Chain A
Amino acid sequence: MKEVKRISSPEDLKKLRQEIRAKKDSSKPIISICVGTGCIALGATKILKDIKDEIKKSGLEGKVDVRETGCLGICEQGPMLIIYPEEIPYFKVKPEDVSEIISKTIIEGQLVERLLYKDPETGEVAKEIGEIPFYKHQLRLLLGNNANINPKNIEDYIEIGGYSALAKAVFQMTPDQVLEEVKRSNLRGRGGGGFPTGIKWETTRNALGEPKYVIVNCDQGDPGAFMDRALMEGNPHSVLEGLIIGAYAIGANQGFVYVREEYPLAAESISTAITQAEEYGLLGENIMGSCFSFSVRVHRGAGAFVSGESSALMTAIEGKVGEPRPKYVHTAVKGIWDKPSCLNNDKTWATIPLIILKGAEWFRNIGTKDSSGTMIFSLVGKVNNTGLVEVPMGITLRDLIFKIGGGIRDGKKFKAVQTGGPSGGFIPEQYLDIPVDFDELVKIGSMMGSGGMVVMDEDTCMVDVARYFVDFLLEESCGKCIPCREGLRVLSSILSDICAGKGKIEDIQTTEEIAETMRETLLCALGRTAANPILTSLKYFRDEWEQHIIEKRCPANACKALIDFYINPEKCQACLLCLKECPAGAIQGDKDKVHWIDQEKCIKCGTCYEICNFHAVKKLSGEAIPPPPEGMKPIRKLKGEN
């Protein structure tokens, strides 16, 4: 272990930064490889190892740096790496490409064309990261630094100007001035509610009771959103710096970071960051030689969606069951152990250093009048470029999905976009041109939530997705409030019936009534907003519900009970693939003989539909299934037709 000199004044920090910068050679190539959870799932660990081996083999040790970074955003194209200083991005890298990257790009300075991003429409190749449409329209304030730092190395963060906001706040500003700056910036909580952060801080600061606590909420339970994880994994020091500044403004000496159980890498990343910050004297007793002391503890969740709610999260930190409690007295006044506790999302905390450094005016100029700054969306589902997108507030959904996301996959038709997880609603095509900010989305029945944005195409059944959310909430409901516990149970059975073709026309009204009751009567925000997916699905896609109930058919061909699988004899190539894979043994046929499905045996698992290479398997709903070909019909070869 190398000896670390504690930073005991702002000058020390500046000196250290200069030393780090002086040590670095700007012309030395750096390979930044994403080792976030997403890219690891696609095999980035193997590629990282191969790159290191290859560098050793070609005798380039010490001449090339390899930097392991957090999530770089465009997960669909992973595993990805960027080569500095030219900023050459390579996508979908496989282990066999590694030697070519080293020999061609690093040694000879040439590009490996096939690994570059190619625009599917124009066919243009992007030689720099900024040329890719996915990145071109973004403003990456929080996530942009992920490519430049190794999250496990504090010196990388200090090198790019990290902790200078902390030095400015603690040494040049009083806590009141910091608070005033945050209030003026009009920053609103990024966790979903959009409550003004400055006002929350002020409430905690003015509340009676000592000690005060500050908490980072990294318990992103809503399915379809993962930016909290990416930020925590990729740039934990920015969250930590914001937290320390917040603690200074509020007057807290103890902080907690609550990380979800499903994010092991994020917990590891922030724990390392805390240890390093303590070693450097940026955390702990007398931060940077001032008289301000602050310590942070990481608390891991244990898998409960409701624990992401503020009061529930605080009871979980106390070591109890994470259930929400009535908030007649807000948690900002009485939180953990009934002491004033200020809880903010990790994105909110990470924005604070930027506001302190660049000023509230700068921040207000980004975004819209009432929602300033940028917002991170996780653009997922049926779009071409899935991943994390950071854009100024006020961008339209159309720009997000079609310009940045690159449109819908496989040329299908857009149907709806679901924002805000189980608390948000579906937004149909007619609202694609509204600007996205906290208030506009609420007006059309959805909400910003923490920024999840699941795009759905014509193959998604809106009743089925509504049922999915009800089942999700039923599983996750803590069971404290009766309308939530029992209402969801009834809703689930109604929706299951509709999806199974047993729905009655009066079910729609019952569903609406239960959903309205839940909205009025529940304790926590998660429960009160639970009705949103159902109500918006009913509002904008009522015809689909009616088709399920009256015509007994699923227009999207998604509800299992209402569809049948059928092999088109014209397209079938008798490859025997589906016949072998069918778990029920329902597919009949032989070599060179057209296959057909025995509907009596078929369990509708969809395996044949998934694996058929010739798109011969079709889903039918509400139509008569054509009779199986008589006897064993020989196939018609597709090639012969052309």
Chain B
Amino acid sequence: MVLLICQHCSYKWDYQGENEHYATCPTCRYKVRIPEEKAQMLRRKGLDMELKSEFSLKEQPVKLRGIAGIVNKTIEDYQHDKSMLIQILLRLQNNFGWLPMEMLLEVSKQLGIPINQVYQVATFYKAFSLSPQGRHLIRVCTGTSCKVRGAPIVLDWMQTFLGIERGEITTDGRFSLKTVNCLGCCALGPMMTVDDKYYGNLKLPDVKRILSKYT
């Protein structure tokens, strides 16, 4: 049962039907839109009857495997909050390394956000990557200060040394190379990070030594 109020004639009644989107007002026949949280209750109604349980679906631990399971666990951590979409994707990206299309679809399904919105967010922000990454992520800072202090030389050298352009992965899958606009260590340019480790005041011989540490 769902309590609805008609916007047209202000009549209140308990809606018994099954439509998730609209209900018809019994007095004035006005189409009343069912709010999302009430629609969820309607969807759950059928299930609740079968389970005969006093717990709601949200509290039920859903045991899912694979991508659906990972997504479900992350979304649970954020209490199914739609405004947390970016945070959910960030965590998935951190745990998984990249965001496969299946994962975005799953997020869209479980969070109830249209896939185009999820995809829009995933493609807009730089932190998300929609293709697999190398084992180690190199981020070379190309901020103003680093640029003035010689970041282009480091980047050029790195591209020649690794044989890839920025945004690509080496053929052996060891490194992926990205540039970042500012790492916030402007006093120590040129800067780069490999995975989570920061390296400052780079000189070309150092770079070679640092990269050889990562396999």
A side interface size, CB within 8 A: 65
* B residues near A388, Cβ cutoff 8 Å: 187
**Roughly how many angstroms separate A111 CA and B203 CA in the complex, as a whole number?**
31
A418 is an interface residue with CB less than 8 A from chain B: yes
Q: B153 near A606 (CB under 8 angstroms)?
A: yes
Judging by beta carbons under 8 Å apart, are B126 and A226 in contact? no
> Which chain B residues lie closer than 8 Å to A469 at the CB level?
144
**CB nearest neighbor in B for A337:** B83
Contact of A607 among B157, B188, B199 (CB under 8 A): B157
Q: Which of A316, A321, A382, A583 contacts B161 (CB 8 A)?
A: A583
Are B191 and A41 in touch, CB under 8 angstroms?
yes
A42 to B85, CA, bound (A): 35
- With contacts A223-B145, A452-B144, A465-B144 known, is A305 near B181, CB below 8 A? yes
Do B205 and A611 touch (CB < 8 A)? yes
Would you call A262 and B180 a contact (CB within 8 A)?
yes
Residues in A583-629 with C-beta less than 8 Å from chain B: 583, 603, 605-607, 610-611
A221 and B128 CA atoms in complex are apart in Å by: 17
Tell whether, in the assembled complex, residue A378 and residue B144 are in contact, meaning their CB atoms are under 8 Å apart. no
| In the complex, chain A residues 260-293 whose Cβ is within 8 Å of any chain B Cβ | 260-264
Instruction: Check B211 for interface membership: any CB of A closer than 8 A.
Output: no
Contacts of A607 in B (CB 8 A): 153, 157, 204
Whether the pair B203, A610 counts as a contact (CB closer than 8 A) is yes
Chain B interface, >50% SS class: helix
The verdict on A326 contacting chain B, using a C-beta distance below 8 Å, is no
Contact across chains for A472 and B181 when beta carbons are under 8 A apart: yes
Other-chain residue from A262, A299, A304, A611 in contact with B184 (beta carbon distance below 8 A): A262
Cβ-closest chain B residue relative to A577? B205
Within 8 Å CB of B185, what residues of A? 37-38, 41, 75, 226
Whether the pair B90, A263 counts as a contact (CB closer than 8 A) is no
Contact between B156 and A41 (Cβ–Cβ < 8 Å)?
A: no
B160 interface contact, C-beta 8 A: yes
Residues of chain B within 8 A of A304, CB atoms compared: 124-126
Residue in B closest to A222 when the chains form the complex, CB atoms = B182
A300 within 8 A of B: yes
Greatest chain A CB density within 10 A among B90, B156, B181, B183 is at B181
Considering the complex, give the chain A residue whose CB is closest to the CB of B83. A319
Question: Which residues of chain A come closer than 8 Å to B201, judged between CB atoms?
Answer: 42
Q: A223 to B157, Cβ gap below 8 A?
A: no
Tell me the bound Cα distance from A452 to B144 in angstroms: 10
Q: Is A341 interfacial (CB 8 A cutoff)?
A: no
With an 8 A cutoff between CB atoms, is B120 at the interface? yes
Q: Which residues of A (443-484) have their CB < 8 Å from a CB of B?
A: 452, 454-456, 460, 465, 468-469, 472, 475-476, 478
CA distance A318 to B188 in the complex (A): 35
In the assembled complex, the CB of B128 is this many whole angstroms from the nearest CB of chain A, namely 7
Chain B residue nearest to A224 (CB atoms) is: B144
**Given A465-B147, A610-B203, is A226 in contact with B182 using a C-beta cutoff of 8 Å?**
yes
Known contacts A302-B90, A302-B127, A607-B157, A321 near B121 by CB under 8 Å: yes
Check B186 for interface membership: any CB of A closer than 8 A. Answer: yes
Within 8 Å of chain A (Cβ to Cβ): is B82?
A: yes
In the complex, which residue of chain A has the Cβ closest to the Cβ of B203? A610
Of A223, A317, A379, A456, chain B has the most CB atoms within 10 Å of the CB of A223
A261 to B86, CA, bound (A): 11
Contact call A42/B200, Cβ cutoff below 8 A: yes
CB-defined contacts of A76 to chain B, threshold 8 Å? 187-188
Q: Does B28 contact A (CB under 8 A)?
A: no
The one of A322, A421, A454 in contact with B148, judged by C-beta atoms closer than 8 angstroms, is A454
Give Cα A209 to B185, complex, Å.
41
- Is B198's beta carbon under 8 Å from chain A? yes
Category for how many chain B residues contact A: 35 or more
- Closest chain B residue to A476, Cβ basis: B181
Task: Bits for A380-391, please: 1 = Cβ < 8 Å to B, else 0.
Answer: 111000111000
Interface residues in A416-449 (C-beta closer than 8 Å to B): 418, 421
Say yes or no: A381 contacts B191, CB within 8 Å. Answer: no
Q: Does A581 contact B (CB under 8 A)?
A: yes
User: Taking the complex as formed, is A129 at the interface, i.e. its CB lies under 8 A from any CB of chain B?
Assistant: no
A220 to B186, CA, bound (A): 12
Q: A41-B200, A605-B160, A607-B157 are contacts. A381–B148 as well, Cβ < 8 Å?
A: yes
Query: A261 and B200: CB pair below 8 A?
Result: no
Contact B147 A319 (CB under 8 A): no
Given contacts A229-B184, A380-B187, whether A454 and B145 have CB atoms under 8 Å apart is: yes
Whether, in the assembled complex, A400 has its beta carbon less than 8 Å from a beta carbon of chain B, the answer is no
Q: Which residues of A contact B188 (CB under 8 A)?
A: 38, 41-42, 75-76, 78, 386
Q: How far is the CA of A378 from the CA of B183 in the complex (A)?
A: 13
Complex contact B204–A300 (CB within 8 A): no
Q: A residues within 8 A CB of B182? A: 220-226, 262
CB distance from A551 to the nearest CB of B (A): 23
Min C-beta distance of B157 to chain A, whole Å: 6
Instruction: Specify the chain B residue showing the minimal Cβ separation from A336.
Output: B83
Residues of B within 8 A of A40 (CB): 198
B187: chain A residues at CB < 8 Å are 38, 75-76, 226, 378-380, 386-388
What CA separation (Å) do A450 and B47 show in the bound complex?
54
A85: chain B residues at CB < 8 Å are none
- Residues A321 and B120 in contact in the complex (CB < 8 Å), given A76-B188, A387-B187: yes
Q: How far is the CA of A316 from the CA of B83 in the complex (A)?
A: 9
Q: Complex Cα distance A608/B179, Å?
A: 23
**Complex contacts, B160 vs chain A, CB 8 Å:** 583, 603, 605
Collect the chain A residues with CB atoms within 8 Å of residue B117's CB: 320
Interface residues of B in 143-162 (CB under 8 A from A): 143-150, 153, 156-157, 160-161
CB A24 to nearest CB in B, in angstroms, measures 32
Complex contact B184–A226 (CB within 8 A): yes
Give every chain A residue within 8 A of B204 (Cβ-Cβ). 581, 607, 610-611
B89 at the interface (CB under 8 A from A): yes
Residue-by-residue, is B104-126 near A (CB-CB < 8 Å gives 1, otherwise 0)?
00000000000001001100111
Q: B84 an interface residue at 8 Å Cβ cutoff?
A: yes
Q: Which residues of A contact B125 (CB under 8 A)?
A: 261, 301-304, 321-322
Contact with A along B13-30 (1 / 0, CB 8 A): 000000000000000000
Which residues of chain B come closer than 8 Å to A418, judged between CB atoms? Answer: 144
Cross-chain contact A421 with B144 (CB below 8 angstroms)? yes
- Tell me the chain A residues, 296-339 only, with Cβ under 8 Å from chain B: 299-305, 316-322
Contact partner of A303 among B126, B143, B147, B161, CB < 8 A? Answer: B126
Query: Does A456 contact B148, Cβ atoms closer than 8 Å?
Result: yes
Contacts of A263 in B (CB 8 A): 184
CB distance from B161 to the nearest CB of A (A): 7
User: How far apart are the CA atoms of A444 and B188 in the complex, in Å?
Assistant: 29
CB within 8 A of B143: which of A37, A224, A300, A386? A224
With a cutoff of 8 Å between Cβ atoms, the chain A residues found around residue B77 in the complex are none
Q: Quick one: given A37-B184, A300-B90, A320-B117, are A264 and B196 in contact (CB under 8 Å)? A: yes
State the 4 A-B residue pairs at the shortest beta-carbon distance, nearest first. Answer: A223-B143, A75-B187, A303-B126, A302-B125
Known contacts A75-B185, A261-B125, A301-B86; 17 further A-B pairs (Cβ under 8 A):
A41-B185, A223-B145, A223-B186, A226-B186, A261-B126, A262-B180, A300-B86, A380-B186, A381-B144, A381-B145, A382-B149, A421-B144, A452-B186, A454-B144, A583-B161, A605-B157, A606-B153
Residues of B within 8 A of A (CB): 82-87, 89-90, 117, 120-121, 124-128, 142-150, 153, 156-157, 160-161, 180-189, 191, 196, 198-201, 203-205
> What are 27 inter-chain pairs, A to B, with CB distance below 8 A?
A38-B187, A41-B185, A41-B199, A42-B200, A76-B188, A78-B188, A224-B144, A224-B186, A225-B182, A262-B180, A262-B182, A299-B87, A300-B90, A301-B125, A302-B127, A302-B128, A303-B125, A321-B121, A322-B125, A379-B187, A380-B189, A452-B144, A454-B148, A460-B148, A583-B160, A607-B204, A611-B205
